[in-house]
DNA sequence: CTGTTAGCGCCTTCAG
DNA sequence: CTGAAGGCGCTAACAG
């Protein structure tokens, strides 16, 4: 069966016996039209099942009501929840969302963005956990023609709006929570290739040194931190690391790792939080689903997303470039508790 | 800072001293162009940072390389993983993905679709778990102009392609697995408002009756099955139901419920799988993350997504309407085991 | 090989 | 209040 040709404004005009201009006017309701002709046009529209062609409209008004979103992938619910927030905000402003996954590959990321630009999006939101080998000139060039918002990126580029959490502060808060419970020695679990891990590690080092503890031997890197294997990889790594450490608590750079740590403890017959405490970071849905429920720092991804959408739209409408930093808030659940008594001596 | 006006094909033509047709030819590489002029044009393109306007191109060729995807939301990783599969396949065919969340609301769903049509997408993929109050005429009308693919929808509409799992068969398989382990009385946990739950329940009833067991008192409905609260809701419901049942196993319509059941067991101090077995359905990432790891029926969402994308593209290129049914495969993990000995008598 | 030209579907002055 | 006409950026004949 062949597709029916879509009706155009000309078809409607003909059927209604008016000019295309008039049809345009009733569709957009931007100029007065006599009641009677309006209904005639509307009848024709219904009859032909006419839907205006947004592409044509936008070509000629040189505006575009779609925005592009680039994420590394959907494996970590973190990104899904951010997208949820973006989508929700955009819907209210009648924007549409073009989604691209960059697979954690900077080259892919730039490709996605070019594709988005050629699709004439009116702005782009990028979540790029790793801005280390970011091609800065690419972005400075890009932003001259297309408004840009980064989420949680730690790489300053002029005129790029930004929304993120103060992860250094969040890390301090998390560490303080642990210390208030009496934990002195804390194992720091991070992944590879993400600015946010580095920021957290730096913070960790400072805090530990401030407590007179040499941090080096308390840091473990489990590799890729946002993949389908992150939980298992973390568990495997900690199965080796946990028995050798004298730490009484584990701080994980995200919840995937947190759950991996939890599973490692179970496998090792360590009671959580009685024998050892665990903290995650992000507060993805998973954190609530496991048992015991994971204590974590909430990044409120939904808000991250909706704020980013808001900034982008402001920028599109010639508002200023802004940089918003949100607070992480501690969500105490069931994996943190008082440090166990020292048995030695 | 104001945006730089984007360069057009005319700008490039002028700078290179050629006609727009020639520029078009080198951009699309579809007609021979003399080596020397080609490089001249390419230089101009680079100099002006020219990116072709896809909207204009597609307006003119009456094709469109974007397709629309409508999902209920991103809360259940199920949908995120399906999208992953779609995105991956589309990328290879240079299509882009316009994402819309319908929030489980049929009205919203139709709105999304209309928006997609007006954006001139060349096809639409819909995941709509609940086709009960589907407005059939809307879809029959729609499909006359835009190719359509349903994922996991149990509502036949002529000329709509479809890809899904045989959930009845999957349910049988799951039940058989449980029965082979010696379980006779099985609790069936479902949610509200989804065709797939109903299909599973019907299958459950038939199987149980076949075993001479009255199914009614073994069926529990936990309400909304794809929300952020599904896990907790299930846990709450089962906290009440589990102590009153003589079932030795629980079959859950999706993994969110499966994890909820698992948590309920923990809270009740029931050992899984020694005291009670639990089966999920879907095999979302979460199933592997919890501990003990959830035994479940794999729906292979990624494949669901990539197959849907493939069907859609075939249809767009005037291929036939197809209906594909994939198999669920049993993934034995750690939550199912032999039925406990009966203590009574 | 290259330039000219006529639209794609729509909006928007500019005249009635 | 309504119609005619130009043009958004690009492609696809059709002539050279």
pLDDT at A3: 60
Nucleotide nearest to A24 (CA to C1'): C11
Q: Measure A290 CA to nearest chain B CA, in Å.
A: 6
pLDDT at A344: 43
- Whole-angstrom CA distances from B150 to B21, B63, B71 are 41, 22, 11
Measured between beta carbons, which residues in chain B are less than 8 angstroms from residue A71? none
Q: What confidence tier does A4 reach under pLDDT thresholds 50, 70, 90?
A: low
Residues B300-321 pLDDT 10s: 999 999 999 999 999 998 899 9
| Structural tokens at position B14 | 């002028």
Residues A331-345 pLDDT 10s: 999 999 999 986 543
A68-72, A225-229, A252-256: range with lowest mean pLDDT:
A225-229
Q: What share of residues in chain B are helix, strand, coil (percent, to 5)?
A: 45, 15, 40
Q: Measure B205 CA to nearest chain A CA, in Å.
A: 29
pLDDT surpasses 80 at A114: yes
Measured between beta carbons, which residues in chain B are less than 8 angstroms from residue A3? 144-147
Query: What is the average pLDDT value for chain B, to the nearest integer?
Result: 92
Residues with CB under 7 A from strand D: A 17-22, 25, 31-34, 36-38, 56, 59-60, 62; B 6, 8-10, 20-21, 24, 27-28, 30, 50, 52-53, 56-57, 59-61
| Structural tokens at position B159 | 């000329």
Q: What confidence tier does A69 reach under pLDDT thresholds 50, 70, 90?
A: very high
Concatenated DSSP letters of B249-265: EEEESSHHHHHHHHHHH
Across the interface, do A99 and B99 touch by the CB < 8 Å criterion?
A: yes
Count Cα atoms within 13 angstroms, Cβ side, for A185: 14
pLDDT at B342: 61
Q: What share of residues in chain A are helix, strand, coil (percent, to 5)?
A: 45, 15, 40
pLDDT at B130: 76
What SS3 class is residue B127? strand
Across the interface, do A231 and B289 touch by the CB < 8 Å criterion?
A: yes
pLDDT at A71: 94
In the structure, how far is the CA atom of residue A56 from the C1' atom of nucleotide D7, in angstroms?
12
Across the interface, do B97 and A98 touch by the CB < 8 Å criterion?
A: yes
Angle between helices A9-16 and A20-28 (to 10 degrees): 110
pLDDT at B132: 67
Across the interface, do A97 and B96 touch by the CB < 8 Å criterion?
A: no
Please name the member of A51, A84, A99 whose beta carbon is closest to the beta carbon of B87. A99
Q: What confidence tier does A58 reach under pLDDT thresholds 50, 70, 90?
A: very high
Residues A153-194 pLDDT 10s: 888 899 999 999 999 999 999 999 999 999 999 999 999 988
Query: What is the average pLDDT value for chain A, to the nearest integer?
Result: 92
In the structure, how far is the CA atom of residue A16 from the C1' atom of nucleotide D1, in angstroms?
16
Measured between beta carbons, which residues in chain A are less than 8 angstroms from residue B59? 53, 55-56, 59
Q: Please list the alpha-helical segments (H only) found in chain A.
A: 9-16, 20-28, 35-48, 54-61, 77-92, 106-118, 136-142, 167-180, 195-210, 230-241, 255-267, 285-289, 301-316
Nucleotide C6's nearest residue (CA vs C1') is B60
**Residues B323, B315 contacting (CB under 8 angstroms):** no
pLDDT at A241: 96
Across the interface, do B83 and A74 touch by the CB < 8 Å criterion?
A: yes
The predicted model gives A251-278 an average pLDDT of: 96
| Structural tokens at position B271 | 């050992």
Q: Which domains does chain B have, with CATH numbers?
A: 9-52 (1.10.260.40), 66-165+301-327 (3.40.50.2300), 167-298 (3.40.50.2300)
CA–CA separation, A11 and A28 (whole Å) = 17
Hey, which residues 237-296 in chain A have their CB within 8 Å of chain B?
256, 259, 262-263, 266, 285-286, 288-291
CA–CA separation, B165 and B152 (whole Å) = 7
- The pTM of the full predicted model, rounded to 2 decimals, is 0.91
CA–CA separation, B265 and B330 (whole Å) = 22
Residue from B11, B27, B50, B99 to probe the interface with A (highest A Cβ count within 10 Å)? B99
pLDDT surpasses 60 at B344: no
Measured between beta carbons, which residues in chain A are less than 8 angstroms from residue B99? 83, 87, 97-99
CA–CA separation, B195 and B127 (whole Å) = 12
Q: Measure B70 CA to nearest chain A CA, in Å.
A: 11
pLDDT surpasses 80 at B335: yes
Q: What confidence tier does B87 reach under pLDDT thresholds 50, 70, 90?
A: very high
Residues B36-86 pLDDT 10s: 999 999 999 999 999 999 999 999 988 889 999 999 988 888 999 999 999
Nucleotide nearest to A53 (CA to C1'): C9
A157 touching chain B per CB within 8 A: no
Across the interface, do B118 and A6 touch by the CB < 8 Å criterion?
A: no
Measured between beta carbons, which residues in chain A are less than 8 angstroms from residue B236? none
Q: Which residue has the higher pLDDT, B103 or B26?
A: B26
A63 touching chain B per CB within 8 A: no
pLDDT surpasses 50 at A42: yes
| Structural tokens at position B256 | 């969110």
Q: What confidence tier does A94 reach under pLDDT thresholds 50, 70, 90?
A: confident
Closest residue on chain B to A260 (Cα):
B289
pLDDT at B81: 93
A266-280, B144-158, B191-205: range with lowest mean pLDDT:
B144-158
Nucleotide C13's nearest residue (CA vs C1') is A21
pLDDT surpasses 50 at B291: yes
What SS3 class is residue B106? helix
Residues B181-226 pLDDT 10s: 999 999 999 999 888 999 999 999 999 999 999 999 999 999 999 8
Measured between beta carbons, which residues in chain B are less than 8 angstroms from residue A59? 53, 55-56, 59
pLDDT surpasses 90 at B154: no
């Amino acid at each position: 069966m062949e597709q029916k040709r879509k009706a155009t404004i000309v078809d409607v005009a003909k059927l209604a016996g008016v000019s295309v201009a008039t049809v345009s006017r009733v569709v957009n309701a931007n100029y007065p039209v006599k009641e009677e002709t309006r209904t005639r046009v509307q009848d024709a529209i219904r009859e032909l099942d006419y839907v205006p062609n947004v592409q044509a409209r936008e070509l000629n008004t040189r505006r575009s009501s779609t925005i592009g979103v680039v994420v590394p992938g959907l494996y970590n619910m973190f990104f899904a929840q951010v997208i949820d927030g973006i989508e929700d905000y955009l819907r209210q402003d009648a924007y549409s969302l073009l989604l691209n996954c960059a697979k954690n590959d900077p080259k892919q990321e730039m490709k996605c963005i070019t594709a988005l630009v050629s699709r004439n999006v009116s702005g782009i939101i990028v979540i790029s956990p790793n801005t280390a080998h970011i091609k800065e000139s690419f972005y400075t060039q890009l932003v001259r023609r297309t408004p840009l918002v980064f989420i949680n990126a730690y790489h300053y580029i002029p005129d790029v709006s930004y929304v993120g959490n103060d992860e250094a502060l969040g890390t301090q808060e998390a560490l303080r929570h642990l210390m208030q419970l009496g934990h002195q020695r804390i194992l720091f679990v991070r992944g590879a290739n993400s600015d946010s891990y580095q920021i957290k590690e730096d913070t960790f080092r400072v805090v530990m040194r401030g407590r007179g503890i040499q941090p080096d031997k308390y840091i473990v890197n489990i590799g890729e931190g946002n993949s389908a294997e992150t939980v298992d990889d973390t568990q495997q790594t900690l199965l080796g690391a946990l028995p050798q450490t004298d730490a009484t608590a584990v701080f994980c750079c995200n919840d995937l790792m947190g759950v991996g740590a939890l599973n490692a403890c179970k496998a090792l017959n360590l009671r959580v939080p009685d024998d050892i405490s665990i903290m995650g970071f992000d507060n993805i849905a998973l954190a609530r689903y496991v048992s015991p429920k994971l204590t974590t720092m909430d990044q409120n991804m939904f808000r991250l997303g909706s704020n980013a959408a808001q900034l982008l739209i402001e920028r599109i409408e010639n508002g200023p470039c802004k940089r918003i930093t949100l607070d992480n808030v501690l969500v105490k659940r069931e994996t943190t508790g008082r440090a166990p008594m020292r048995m030695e001596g």
